[in-house]
Amino acid sequence: MDFVIAPPAQPSVAVAGSDARFPVRRIFCVGRNYAAHAREMGGDEREPPFFFSKPADAVVESGASIPYPPDTTDLHHEIELVVAVGRGGSDIPVEAALDNVWGYAAGIDLTRRDLQAAAKKAGKPWDLAKGFDRSAPISPIRPAAGAHPGAGRIWLAVDGAMRQEGDLRDMIWSVAETLAALSRSVILQPGDLVFTGTPEGVGPVARGQTLTGGVDGVGEIRVRIDG
Ligand code: MN
């Protein structure tokens, strides 16, 4: 096929223990999925799951240095369990939803918190607060192979100082419930990534600082924010 401009490269993520890579189709993110973080953001912990998205090419490899993004003075870290979807579908029942998971990773939902706060106040979309270039650092994906983490420590440190520490068991909506809910709104597709929300302790990261984080048994991520 002829294209009028060069087609974009396929975004992808490394796979733990393999040279093959996971192709990324879309990135969905769950808002406020840990009660203590919902409260620190001024929300109600009982509200149903809601979703926003990032471009597929926002993924960044662990180990990378990334420039401090433009248009913000309040870049925040949010460490999250990421679900890599291997099989798609719509109206997926909760009981069968984990069969659609290919693997798991640890990711950071980088957020331009000042833009998000202004958008919330004005009732405007979050897109550019969340879905900017290089806003989705992610560890290599660990194949699930039938093992789905329902509990385990999730953490993030800035320059070695612990900022976020939680447990997957404190998620308000489980991975299965999240995928089922998302599949009622869009046709879930192979290659989709789902960031499943962050525990409390979100905060700013400054130029020159290094973020390290992980989900026990799943993976670890390290990125440096350049000046
Ligand atoms: Mn988030």
Distance 95 CA to ligand 1 centre (A): 25
pLDDT band at 1 (very low <50, low <70, confident <90, very high): confident
| 213 CA from centroid of ligand 1 (Å) | 14
3-state secondary structure of 10: coil
Q: Is the pLDDT reported for residue 39 higher than 90?
A: no
pLDDT(90) > 90? yes
**Cβ-contact 15, 24 below 8 angstroms:** no
Portion of the chain with pLDDT greater than 70, in percent: 99
Cα 87 to ligand 1 centroid, rounded to whole Å: 23
pLDDT at 42: 81
131 secondary structure, DSSP code: S
Distance, CA 196 to ligand 1 centroid (Å)?
Answer: 7
Please state, in angstroms and rounded to a whole number, the distance separating the CA atoms of residues 198 and 218.
15
Measured CA to CA in angstroms, residue 146 lies from 51, 71, 85, 96, 99 at distances of 26, 42, 13, 12, 8
Reported as a single tens digit per residue, the pLDDT across 100-124 is 999 999 999 999 999 999 999 999 9
Q: Which helix (H) or strand (E) covers residue 122, if one does?
A: helix 113-122
CA of 190 to the centre of ligand 1 (A): 21
Q: How far is the CA of 30 from the centre of ligand 1 (A)?
A: 6
Mean of all residue pLDDT scores within the chain: 96
CATH tag for 21-226 (out of 3.40.50.300, 3.30.300.30, 3.40.1110.10, 3.90.850.10): 3.90.850.10
Does the pLDDT value for residue 201 go beyond 80?
yes
Using the 8-state DSSP alphabet, how is residue 186 labeled?
S
The pLDDT of residue 46 is above 80: no
Q: Is the pLDDT of residue 45 over 70?
A: no
Average pLDDT of span 42-70: 92
Other CB atoms within a 10 A radius of the CB of residue 151 amount to 11
CB distance 76 to 202 below 8 Å: yes
Query: CA torsion 58→66→168→88, rounded to 10°?
Result: 20
81 burial level (CB within 10 Å; 0-12, 13-18, 19+): buried
Tell me the CA–centroid distance for residue 78 and ligand 1, in Å.
5
d(CA 150, CA 104): 12
